Amino acid sequence: MNVLVVTDPVAGIDPTIDATVGLVAALQRLDVPVWVSTPADLSVVDGRVRTLAARVVLAPRKRGNDHRWLVERDWFRVIERTHFDVAAEMDLVLLRIDPPVDARYLHTTYLLDLVEAAGTRVTNRPEGVRALHEKAVALHFPELCPTTLVTARVAEIQRFVTDHGAAVIKPVDGFAGTDVWLLQDDASARALAESATAGGTRHVIVQEYLARVEAGNKRLFVLDGEIVGAVLRRPDDGDFRIGAPSASAEIDDADRRIADSLAPLLRQHGIALAGLDVIDGRLIEVNVTCPGGMAKTDALLGTDLSGAIVRRLLDLAPNPTTPATLKEMASS
């Protein structure tokens, strides 16, 4: 059994928090050989996807005192580099490129479509990543979300802010909290709206500000449409945006309603792993491109979300039928 991880260059990865590193560590604990490629390493020869890949082994690591892992300076080593036919040699391919879904990302998904067509599972499915835009997919479920406006018109944004008193504005193609601003019903709202929309030429997402964000934003980890764990993230001091995981989170009826509503769509598009962001029982975002947070949660809480995920993807664990059973898997 072999697994290929298609990811960003290793030099840019922070192994103390990175979710992909956590998945690799979980595979290593199962004695599954892990190979790593970047998008630039992929090619197509006679209709078959080939890659130059490195087989990697992680150095020992241990939990720290917060959401970070303690790792060695030389936290991985390459024990072999070789070319191979991806579909012929790999049992599973993990698509783990960080957003945004730009031209580089899209070109990679087109190549991995060929791998999937040749019979090797790719997760999350490339077609699904293209179809389910992380910011826009939640708009299919307006009854689950805070009041939301998508527009490029500054005047519409101003009216929305006036109606709701405050609003969060973010780029449609944004990620990792970049260019996410809080608009108040004051003189600065127009200037911020003009900047966010590039003078009325770029669409943005505007949502009513949920004051209960101060109590925390839940990240729900969803595997095959079912919640396998949850963690609470609170804003950093002096910032309304969400910070690192800080505490365990109870899974309540609102969370289950959200996951159950999304599950058919996620399964339809082959989204095995998703991260749902929920504030005060309302869906904010659906992370499907490179869902993260598992490694941080495992470090903070001592769970084994990363292990539960890879065991399920490799069919090394029974297929649970209830969220309770899944939770036990993640906590083992």
Task: Go through the domains of the chain in sequence order and give each one's CATH number.
Answer: 3-126 (3.40.50.20), 147-209 (3.30.1490.20), 213-331 (3.30.470.20)
How many DSSP H helices and E strands does the chain contain? 10, 18
In sequence order, the 6+-apart residues with CB closer than 8 A to the CB of 177 are 241, 242
Question: Which pLDDT tens digit goes with each residue over 134-143?
Answer: 888 888 999 9
d(CA 44, CA 7) in angstroms, rounded, equals 18
3 state SS of 235:
strand
| pLDDT bucket at 61, cuts 50 / 70 / 90 | very high
* Distance between CA atoms of residues 146 and 129, nearest Å: 24
Asked if residues 296 and 244 have their Cβ atoms less than 8 Å apart, the reply is: yes
- What's the average model confidence in pLDDT over 245-251? 93
Least confident span in 95-109, 182-196, 229-243: 229-243
Single-letter amino acid code for the residue at 36: V
Whole-angstrom distance, CA of residue 43 vs CA of residue 125:
19
302: left (phi over 0), alpha (psi -120 to 50) or beta: left
Amino acid at 325: T
In this prediction, residues 61-74 reach a mean pLDDT of 96
Reported confidence tier of residue 220, pLDDT bands at 50, 70, 90: very high
Whole-model pTM over 0.85: yes
- Are 119 and 89 within 8 A, CB to CB? no
Question: Residue 305: which region, alpha, beta or left (left: phi > 0; alpha: psi -120 to 50)?
Answer: alpha
Instruction: Quote the percentage of the chain above a pLDDT of 90.
Output: 80
